[in-house]
A and B are shown apart, each in its own frame.
Chain A
Amino acid sequence: MSETTAITVEKEIAKCSKCGKCRSVCPVFIETRSEGMVARGRISLAEALLSGEMRDTAKMRRYLWGCLKCLRCVDACPSGVRFDKIISEARRRVGSRVGMPWFARTAMRLMLPRRWLFDIAVKSAALWEKILPLHREGRIRHLPMLFGDHRSMPELAKKSVLKSFADYYGDENAKRKVALFVGCLGNYAYPEVVTAEIAVLNATGAGVYVPKGQVCCGAAASSLGDEKLLARLERLNEEAFAGLGIEAIIVGCASGGATLKGEYPAITGRENPLGAPVEDFSEYVAKHSEKIKGRFGGQVSWHDPCHLKFVQKVTAPPRELLGKVADYREIEGADYCCGMGGVFSAFFPDISAQIGTRKTDAIRAGGAEVMATGCSGCILQLRDRLAAAGADVKVMHVAEVLAEALEEDSGKDKPGGEESIA
C-alpha cells in the first residue's frame, strides 16, 4: 500500500461520525439487521484491521466481503465518507493475507486479460468450482461465471460477441462514431442485448465500433481488492480502444460503466484514460434521440441499477427514452437493489436471493409487465428471482425495448407489412 492510499483511507475512516444513517439505505443490512453488515460497522472493523488492532478472522472476512458495493451508503452519507475506498483497501488487506482469493485471484489474473482462456473457462463450470472463493453461506453447486447455485443461469451464447460480430456497424462516413464496450455478460450470455445496442446506436446516426481486443472491465477484480489486475485490464482496454477517432465509449452495463468512469481515472490519474469519454448507453442515446421512434407494444417500467443511479447518477435518460416509445409506468421501489452485486451473490447467495425477492415483490406490487433496466447483472438476477416467484414479468435491456420499437416503426414502411399478420 502506498503512503497516499494509507492517508486517504485513514482520512475517510475518520470522517465517519457513526451517525448510523447508512443503516437506512443498505440492502444487506435491511435483510440481516447486523451491524457488521452495514458501512458504519464495516468502517469500525476496517479501522481496527488497518491499525493492526484486530486480526483477519473468518468473521472479519464475512463482514468485509458481505458488501454488495451498491454504494447507496456513499450516496446517502451526510459526512461524505468514501466507503468504497475504505472497503477496497480493507479487502485488499484480508485478501493478501489469507487463502481467499489467492486461487481465485490467480485464475482471474490468468483469464480475465485473455479472452481465449476465459472463453474456455466460462464453458467449464468445473474449473470455476475449484476456485470457489472464501467460505460462503449456503450451497453452491455450479459456479459458471462466479454466479451460483439455485439461480437459473442464462444459457451461454453459442458464439461470443467478440468472436462473431463485425468490427464496425453503420455508415462508414457517419458524423458521429462511438465504440461499444460489451461487458462479460454481454459477450457471453446476452449477445441479443449487444445487437439491440448497436441497432439503436445506428438509428441515432452513430457508427459503432466493437473493438475485439477489449477485455473484462475489472469490476470483480476491484471487488476482490486486486488493484494490480484492475490496472492490467485497464491497460489492455486502453490499447483496444486507442486510435478509433470516436466521440464516446458506450457501455450498456451499469457496473462496467461505473468501473470505466470511476475506477479507471482513479487508477491511472487521467481524466479519460480510454481516449474518449465513457457514457452509459441510455445517457448517450437520450442526447441523440430525434430518430428514436415507433411504439413498443405494451407497458414498460424501469429498474434503476445501483451503479447507474448511485455511482453514475443517471436516472432521467432511460425513463425519457422509454416514455418516448412505450406506455411508461414508474413503480414504487424502482431504485431498490436487485441483490446481485457480482461476487457478492457468489459469496452470499441466500442474502442475495432475499434482497432479490424484496425487489421482485415491489415489481409485482407495482404491477409491472415489462421491467427494463441497464445492467447485465440486474437482468440476470431479476430474471432469476421473477422466475422463482412464478411472476409473469419480462425483463429486458432498455436497448431491446428501443430496438423493438424501431423495428415496428420501420415495419410500417415495408410494403404489405400490416397485411402480413392476416
Chain B
Amino acid sequence: MKRLSAGAAARLKGIFGERMSVEEEETLLASYDATKKTGMPAAVVWPESTEETAALVKLANEEGFAVVARGAASGLTGGSVPADGSVVADFARMDKILEIDRRNLTALVEPGVVVGELQRQVEKVGLFYPPDPASNEFSTVGGNIAECAGGLRGLKYGVTRDYVLQLEVVTGGGEIIHTGSNTIKSVTGYDLTRLLVGSEGTLAIITKARLKLIPLPEGIATAVAYFRTPHEAGEAVSKMIEERLLPRALEFVDGVTMGIVAKSKGYRFPQGAEALLIIEVDGGKEQVAADIERAVAVAERQGAIAVERAKDKAARDRIWEMRKQLSPSLYAASPDRVNEDICVPRDRIPETLDAVAEIGKRYNLVVCNYAHAGDGNIHVNFLVDTTDSGIMERAEKAVEEVFKLTVSMGGTLSGEHGIGLSKKRFFSLEVAPVEMALMKAMKRVFDPNGVLNPGKIFPDE
C-alpha cells in the first residue's frame, strides 16, 4: 500500500486537524463504491469549506499525491473508487442547503446534500427538482453532478445537467473558480458549467452548486401496461411519443427480468406477459387524467394484453417499489452480472433489443433488459453463473459487441452512470482520436499535474 510522505501527512494534518485520518479503518471505508471495485487511499479528509478544499488540492500539487472526491460512493462505474495512495476528500460535512430562492426558483447547495433531502425540502414549498436517479435517497448532489445522473424522468425533464445553473469548484490547479450565471439565459463566454457536469471529478472538485427548480406539478397518474413481446412494448413507446404524449416516465422491463423480480420479491404478473411498461404522466389534475387514458389507449392499440392503473399514491408507490427492486433482484440472482447503461435514439429501441437478444444467444448468455425507454436508456444485463468456466470471457466479448451495436445505432456507451473505471477500455469505440486528444488537452488545462481522480474515463495507454 502506498503511503503519504511524512511531510505531506503533517501538512495535511495542519489543514484538517482531527478531520484527517490515515487509520486503516478509515482508508478501508473510503476504498469502494457500488461497483465493488476497490483502491486503497493513503488518507481521508473531511473538508468543511471551499478554502480547505483548495488548500488540499494545492498541497496535492506540491507533494505529488492524487485527490479523489467522494459523496455517497453509490456510483456504478467506479468514479469515486480512489487510486492507490491517493487522498480521499469525503464531503459528508458539507451537506447544507444554503438557500431555496422562491422568487428565482433556484437552490444553492453544498455538494454533500442528499438528493432526496433536497427534493423533500423544495417540495415543501411547492417546488420540484426533477432529476431522480434510483439512488436519490442516498446519493449526493456533488456525485450526481460529477456523473451527470439521470433517472426516471429524463424524457420529459432531462437530466442533472439541465438543472445546474452555477458551480463553485476547485480546479486541479487548486484555484477556486465560479462558472455559469444565476440567470436562465447566459452566453457570456464558454459554458464551463456544462463541461464540468459529468466530468467525474477529473477536472475540478465541486464545492457549491446553484440548481434550477420548477413548480411542482399538481397531479400525477401512473399505469402499467403488459405486452406479449419486448418488441411490442418498444413500439408502444415510439407511438406514444409520435402522438406527442410526453410522459414523465416510461419504464420498460423485459420478461426475463420480470421473472426474476417475481421470484425473488413475490410479485405476480399477468399470464403471457413478456414485457411491461410503466407509464407516468404529470401536470394539471384534469390534464393527467386525460393523458394517462390516451397513453393507455396507445398501449392497447399496440397489443397490450393487460393494463393496471394506480388508484392512489400507495398503489403508485408499490409500482415504483417494484421498479426499484429490479437491479437488486438481478444482483441477488447473479452477483457477478454484467450491467451496462447504453443509450440509443428512442426510435431504435425495438431493433436494439432484438440485436442484444441475438448477441446473448450467440454467446450463450442469459440477457435481461430494463430501460428508461422514454429516453432510450437501456440497462442491458448479462447474468453470469460463475460455476460456468469461461463465462466471464464470453460476457466481456458480448459487452464489447453491445457497445459496438450501440455506437452503430447512433447511441452512447453511458446514459447516466459515467465511464469511470468500468467502461474506459471501450471509450475509443465512441470517441475518435481527435476528440479524445481535445478532451485530454482540456484535462491538462484544468489539472496540469493530473492530481484529480487519476485513471478514470480515458483508456490506459
Contact = CB atoms under 8 A, between A and B. Distances in A.
Q: Do A and B bind each other?
A: yes
Interface of A: 14-15, 17-21, 23-24, 33-36, 41, 44-45, 48, 54, 57, 59-60, 63, 78-80
Given A19-B135, A57-B25, 4 more contacts: A15-B335, A20-B74, A36-B26, A59-B26
A21 B138 contact: yes
B328 A79 contact: yes
Given A33-B112, A63-B25, A18 B32 contact: yes
A18 B93 contact: no
Nearest to B137: A24
Contacts of B25: 36, 45, 54, 57, 59-60, 63
Contacts of A79: 328, 331-332
A48 B38 CA distance: 13
Nearest to B139: A20
Which of A21, A54, A79 has the most CB atoms of chain B within a 10 A radius of its CB?
A21
Q: How large is the interface on B (under 10, 10 to 19, 20 to 34, 35 or more residues)?
A: 35 or more
Which of the listed residues B25, B26, B72, B325 has the most CB atoms from chain A within 10 Å of its own CB? B25
Contacts of A48: 28
Nearest to A60: B25
Q: Closest 10 A-B residue pairs measured CB to CB?
A: A78-B328, A24-B137, A20-B74, A33-B92, A35-B29, A23-B138, A24-B138, A59-B25, A20-B138, A19-B34
A18 B116 contact: no
B95 interface: yes
B112 to A, nearest CB: 7
A15 B332 contact: yes
A71 to B, nearest CB: 18
A17 B34 contact: yes
Contacts of A14: 335
A377 B202 CA distance: 49
A60 to B, nearest CB: 6
Contacts of B26: 36, 59
Contacts of A80: 332
Nearest to A33: B92
Contacts of B139: 20
Nearest to B73: A20
B34 A78 contact: no
B26 to A, nearest CB: 7
B34 A59 contact: no
Interface string B258-283: 00000000000000000000000000
B425 interface: no
Contacts of B95: 33
Given A33-B93, A59-B23, A78-B325, A44 B137 contact: no
Contacts of B36: 17-18
Contacts of B112: 33
A18 B328 contact: no
A215 to B, nearest CB: 37
B50 interface: no
Nearest to A63: B25
Interface in B30-63: 30-36
B181 to A, nearest CB: 31
A23 B29 CA distance: 13
A23 B33 CA distance: 13
Nearest to B90: A35
B324 A78 contact: yes
A59 B139 CA distance: 26
B327 interface: yes
A274 B139 CA distance: 45
B135 A44 contact: no
B73 to A, nearest CB: 6
Contacts of B335: 14-15, 17
Nearest to B70: A35
B24 interface: yes
B327 A78 contact: yes
A79 B332 CA distance: 6
Contacts of A78: 324-325, 327-329, 331
Interface string B306-327: 0000000000000000001101
B34 A24 contact: no
B122 interface: no
B92 A21 contact: no
A35 B32 CA distance: 11
Interface string B337-376: 0000000000000000000000000000000000000000
Contacts of B331: 17, 78-79
A265 to B, nearest CB: 22
Interface string B1-40: 0000000000000000000000111101111111110000
A141 to B, nearest CB: 26
7 contacts: A19-B74, A21-B138, A23-B74, A35-B90, A44-B32, A79-B328, A79-B331
A14 B112 CA distance: 28
A54 B32 contact: no
A78 B74 CA distance: 14
B29 A41 contact: yes
Contacts of B34: 17-20
Interface centre among A17, A48, A60 (most CB of B within 10 A): A17
Contacts of B236: none
B83 interface: no
A416 B31 CA distance: 74
Given A45-B28, A54-B28, A20 B327 contact: no
B29 A45 contact: yes
A19 B23 contact: no
Nearest to B32: A18
B114 interface: yes
A23 B114 CA distance: 10
B439 to A, nearest CB: 29
A412 to B, nearest CB: 39
Nearest to B329: A78
B72 A20 contact: yes
Most chain A Cβ neighbours within 10 Å, of B29, B32, B34, B332: B29
A34 B325 CA distance: 26
Contacts of B32: 18, 44
Interface in B139-167: 139
Nearest to A80: B332
A21 B139 CA distance: 9
Nearest to B37: A18
A117 to B, nearest CB: 38
